[in-house]
Amino acid sequence: MSSTQSSMLVVDDDTDTCSNLSDIFSDLGYRVETAPNGPAALEKVRHDRFDIALLDLMMPGMDGLALFRQLRGLSPQTTGVLMTGEPHDPRAAECLQAGMNCMIPKPLDIPKLASALKKIVRQCSL
């Protein structure tokens, strides 16, 4: 899979974050969908395939860990990437133990995030 063919689901309760990440990664060749919360994200996963899910940890209702666990049941091929402003929250470590690929701290370092996603795409194409 290359970034020009890769699909990404961005899930964050901050609509500006979703919009900004969608603009940035669309410009880099990804097909990007966004969701403001876990239930909306799961609905999208039921109807579409995503290579990467970029998930915020701290969201009202369903946090990123609970979302990732349900997402994996629906779409085991989707690679999870955690975004969090609380990297020392025990749930962040649980996300990695549950199979998320990596954790990117907030505020987001876009070049670092882009590099991590490029690496994921490369690994998935092997």
pTM: 0.93
CATH topology of domain 7-125: Rossmann fold (3.40.50)
The pLDDT tens digits for 75-98 are 999 999 999 998 888 888 899 999
Domain map (residue ranges) of the chain = 7-125
The pLDDT tens digits for 56-78 are 999 999 999 999 999 999 999 99
Name the helix (H) or strand (E) containing 110.
Answer: helix 110-125
